[in-house]
Chains A and B, each alone.
Chain A
């Protein structure tokens, strides 16, 4: 199998020669775009920072929007339930096993009671 063999996968093909040519063309285009840049552009925190009406960049941590903001409406609407559920999550395995056994016992009592 030659190094320049075209590999056909059925959904497409892979040819290292075409890949190299495409990479060279991409590099040439990128170089042409880079060449048109302003050579005298100043470097430094102020010059490179984002324009926020002249205000200092507060940094990523100050402007980060956490994922929790996306379901803020749900968590606020169901806050009554969460206030009761969250304290139950102690993180202790023995507590969870106790809940498991307790709920299983209640279900058994209900099932046996209904069956009788």
Chain B
């Protein structure tokens, strides 16, 4: 992992809630607060998938959100990575629920999971840093 090179450009993150209880969403916002301040490294949330390198998915994927999730992922430019945040991405306490499509990796190619219910901001930042390394590899392959 060569962070020095990867930090040469910003890493913009799109946050997608597929049915979260908002626990993970609050931790996403907590990670952006001045205590950690990832924006000083150019890591920030964006409002459109067109501008994003990373998509953070929070919450279990409900039936209504499946096609929206696929559509938003398709609208992100390559290279792109998907981070599943929280225990719900692998089912969690809602595993095998009638109202869920299934684990996130049955819908999108998930690069990494950040476990926890909810994960702490430090875990989220660690996941994003690993996403940078993954993006580096993808760019080299291209």
Using C-beta atoms within 8 Å of the partner chain, give the interface range for chain B: 10 to 19
Using C-beta atoms within 8 Å of the partner chain, give the interface range for chain A: 10 to 19
Q: A47 touches which one: B16, B65, B75, B79 (CB < 8 A)?
A: B75
> Could you tell me the distance between the alpha carbons of A44 and B67 in the complex, rounded to whole angstroms?
15
Is A55's CB under 8 angstroms from B68's CB?
Answer: yes
Query: When A and B form their complex, which 6 residue pairs have the shortest distance between CB atoms, in order from nearest?
Result: A54-B68, A46-B74, A40-B78, A54-B72, A47-B74, A46-B71
A57 (CB) vs chain B CBs: closest residue: B71
Max chain A C-beta neighbours (<10 A), residue from B70, B71, B72: B71
**Which A residues are within 8 Å of any B CB, using their own CB?**
38, 40-42, 44, 46-47, 49, 51, 53-56
Q: B78 touches which one: A42, A44, A46 (CB < 8 A)?
A: A42
Cβ contacts B131-142/A at 8 Å (1 or 0 each)? 000000000001
A-side interface mostly: loop
Residues of chain A lying within 8 A (CB to CB) of residue B77: 38, 40-41
Min CB distance, A36 to chain B, in Å? 13
Min CB distance, A38 to chain B, in Å? 5
Residues of chain A lying within 8 A (CB to CB) of residue B65: 54
B49 near A: Cβ within 8 Å? yes
Min CB distance, A31 to chain B, in Å? 21
